[in-house]
Amino acid sequence: MTTTPTDPNAAAIDIQDLHKSFGQNEVLKGIDFHVGNGQVVCIVGPSGSGKSTLLRCVNRLEEPTSGKILVEGIDITDPDVDIDQVRSRIGMVFQQFNLFPHMTALRNLTIAQQRVRKRSQDEAVEVARRNLEKVGLADREDAYPAHLSGGQQQRIAIARALSMDPDMMLFDEVTSALDPELVGDVLAVMKQLAGEGMTMMVVTHEMGFAREVGDNLVFMDEGAIVEQGPPMRVLSDPQHPRTQAFLSKVL
């Protein structure tokens, strides 16, 4: 099983000529870009442009049709790769919170640590409490998801991903299901992670977050990267007519 990085100086994520089709529908049409260690890359674009599919290919929740994805130098499209080992380095947070409804916040954070990381209960609880504190919910460890707001549930989901000690985080439109007044608390946690040097790929509609936190902004449309560059430049002076049209509607 291939699990050892081939290059210690490799990009965190390197995507090469990535294609993904669902039947006759080609959703990704030759994606090329990389995410450097410690970088925050924000991916924006209209619904159906392939953003979430791209993100899901990075940890093989979707199987690429062709092309390569290297994660810390490991080709995760190699049929011999130990994908579970690679996935253990990649935290992912979804639009839907996916918490276990019958478990407390604390237990939601400890179960995978014990089963996947093989940590003792005491160690898992210690890690979980540290991450609950990081997301500002140390006082809600005994609460069940039904007794938490959407924003609190999403912060619990982020804490759960962090409790697995990932090298990088993938965020898939994590604020789009939240009431507007709850979005800020979730974005604040993500800004904190970026400030601590976490490598992040973020599919988002939050242009203010992209401008403030992103190192690179990628605009996708119809399965292709239309434009990318520093967020301030792309948002204030988009070069491609399709980017211009999109941003004129969302800014």
User: Which tens digit of pLDDT belongs to each residue from 77-126?
Assistant: 999 999 888 888 999 999 998 999 999 999 999 999 999 999 999 999 99
User: How would residue 141 be classed by pLDDT, with cut points 50, 70 and 90?
Assistant: very high
pLDDT band at 177 (very low <50, low <70, confident <90, very high): confident
According to the model, what pLDDT value does residue 10 have? 72
Decide if pLDDT at 61 tops 70: yes
**Residue 6 clears pLDDT 80, i.e. is over it:** no
State both tokens at 24: 């006759």
- Amino acid identity of 92? M
Locate 248 and state its tokens. 């004129």
pLDDT the model gives residue 7 = 56
Nearest-5° Cα angle at 102, 85 to 192? 55
Q: How far apart are the first and last CA of the chain?
A: 47
Question: Global pTM?
Answer: 0.94
Residue 165 vs residues 60, 123, 162: alpha-carbon distances, Å: 19, 13, 5
- Integer angstrom CA distances of residue 11 from 38, 70, 85: 10, 8, 18
d(C-alpha 173, C-alpha 130), whole Å: 25
Helix, strand, coil percentages (3-state) for the chain, rounded to 5, are 40, 25, 35
pLDDT value at position 99? Answer: 96
